[in-house]
Structure 1
């Protein structure tokens, strides 16, 4: 079992412990480290030596930058610490009240493309070691991005197509519809991009950390957990600013200063995203467990303590 997974097994089994770890791992200064430094940190974490203060930095660098299946450094732009700096402006821009469909389409395409790339780079790749990404998987990723981009601009399309002038309808398309739509598209993006894990299975481990085979049931569970966590992330990022704006528009100050509403909404979108990222990443363990009765029959004998372990991915 990879040293990163061994660490998650010992330290990351409760939500609060995972949240504390992710708050450290999401520090964007770790992106300044080179791939050589990342690999050195990973080797140090796997050496079994007692870590000092310098070793603590190596531990953080390894957990945030090394893929737990391949042991290779994750591409820089798709590492967890890069998620907020890159996706933040894209999320804010995609929620802007665009005049036409084309600007909305452009920003949705960038957001969905980055989300697909992040989901693919941080997937469980245990069944793909030594293989290149298949044409089928590339087509699925392209299809997921295309579909999510088109679906993401539906509110803007309806406003333009129907010529919405009614305030309640405008509020519905601008503020209410994007909440379930953002959550559903985030869920769909993960589910589609990582569908191969459910089809081919992912590596599962016994209680001693030894690999015992591939499990489609574990793959399906890992994908659905990650998809749910991403739906919570984008759904909450959309809902919180909408609720705050709705409440503050009732105050006398915002009624007098209506021009402040738009900047406040954009600022709260970025703030909510920043708060929700570590929460979303912490919802489920990185090293998940699955009960032996839920895995394939041929793997059940290896579950000596009643369950097997799997890498969930991110």
Structure 2
């Protein structure tokens, strides 16, 4: 088992424990580290000697920059600390009340493309099919991005095509509909991009960290958990600012100064998104467990303590 996964096995089994760890890990300054520093940090984490307080930076560097299955360095823009600076502007722009369909499609395309890349790079890659990007995976990526882009722009498409002028109806399409839509598309993005994990299975480990085989049941559980966590991230990010803006628009201050609404929306989206990233990452254990009765027959004998472990991905 990779040293990163062993750390999560020992330290990340409670929600608040994982939340504390992720708040420390999502420091964007770690993105400036070189590949040599990252490999050195990963080797230090896998060493026999226990880490001390001075090795905290190496621990953070390994957990955020090295893939838990392959042991390879993650692409810079798809590392967890890069999610906020890279995706926050895209999320803000995609939730704006656009005046036409083209900008809505443009920003949705950028957001869904980045999300697909992040989900693919941080997925479980323990099966042979996931070790290299196949033509099937490329087509799946393109199809997912295309579908999610069009679906994400549906509120603006409806407003333009139907010629909606009513303020109350526009409010429904611009402020209410994007909430469930954002959550559903985030779930869909993870579920489709990582569908091969459910089809081919992912590696599972016994209590000592030894690999015992591939499990489709564990793959399905890992994908579902990650998809739910991403739906919580984007759904909450869409819900809180939109509801807040709707409530504040009733105040005389905002009725007299409507220009205050735009910066408030931008700030609240960025704040909620940044706050929800560690929360969504912590909803499920990074090293997940699956009960003996839920795995394939040939793997049950290895679950001597009643469960097996798997890398959920991110």
Q: TM-score range by the shorter chain?
A: over 0.9
Q: Give the secondary structure class of the aligned counterpart of 2:310.
A: strand
Runs of 4+ in 1 over 6 A off after TM superposition: none
Which digits, 9 at most, give the CA deviation of each residue in 1:133-184, with x for residues without a partner? 1111111111000000010100011111111110111001100000000000
Q: How many residues get paired?
A: 314
User: Which residue is equivalent to 1:114?
Assistant: 114
Which digits, 9 at most, give the CA deviation of each residue in 1:263-294, with x for residues without a partner? 11111111110010000000000000000100
* In 2: Cα distance, 1:7 partner to 1:255 partner: 52
* In 1: Cα distance, 2:103 partner to 2:238 partner: 19
* In 2: Cα distance, 1:210 partner to 1:238 partner: 41
Where in structure 2 are the equivalents of 1:129-208 lying within 5 Å? 131-208=131-208
Offset, 1:128: 2.7
Q: 1:180–1:235: 8 Å Cα contact kept in structure 2?
A: yes
Which digits, 9 at most, give the CA deviation of each residue in 1:13-48, with x for residues without a partner? 000000000001110000000111101000000002
User: Which residue is equivalent to 2:294?
Assistant: 294
Distance change >3 Å, CA 153–CA 130, structure 1 → 2:
closer
* In 2: Cα distance, 1:41 partner to 1:100 partner: 48
Q: Give the secondary structure class of the aligned counterpart of 1:204.
A: strand
* In 2: Cα distance, 1:103 partner to 1:261 partner: 20
Q: TM-score, with normalisation over the residues of structure 2?
A: 0.98
Q: 1:152–1:185: 8 Å Cα contact kept in structure 2?
A: yes
User: Which residue is equivalent to 1:53?
Assistant: 53
Matched, 1:26 2:26: yes
User: Which residue is equivalent to 1:251?
Assistant: 251
* In 2: Cα distance, 1:107 partner to 1:28 partner: 24
Q: 1:288–1:311: 8 Å Cα contact kept in structure 2?
A: yes
User: Which residue is equivalent to 1:211?
Assistant: 211
* In 2: Cα distance, 1:32 partner to 1:55 partner: 17
Matched, 1:229 2:229: yes
Offset, 1:97: 1.7
User: Which residue is equivalent to 2:36?
Assistant: 36
User: Which residue is equivalent to 1:104?
Assistant: 104
* In 2: Cα distance, 1:94 partner to 1:131 partner: 32
User: Which residue is equivalent to 2:72?
Assistant: 72
Offset, 1:129: 7.4
* In 1: Cα distance, 2:69 partner to 2:120 partner: 13
Q: 2:4–2:63: 8 Å Cα contact kept in structure 1?
A: yes
* In 2: Cα distance, 1:49 partner to 1:145 partner: 45
Offset, 1:131: 4.2
Structure 1, 94-103 or 202-211: larger mean CA deviation: 94-103
* In 1: Cα distance, 2:83 partner to 2:162 partner: 36
Q: TM-score, with normalisation over the residues of structure 1?
A: 0.98
Matched, 1:263 2:287: no
* In 2: Cα distance, 1:108 partner to 1:247 partner: 26
5+ residue gaps, structure 1, are none
Where in structure 2 are the equivalents of 1:269-308 lying within 5 Å? 269-308=269-308
Q: 2:119–2:190: 8 Å Cα contact kept in structure 1?
A: yes
* In 2: Cα distance, 1:173 partner to 1:124 partner: 36
Q: Give the secondary structure class of the aligned counterpart of 1:303.
A: coil
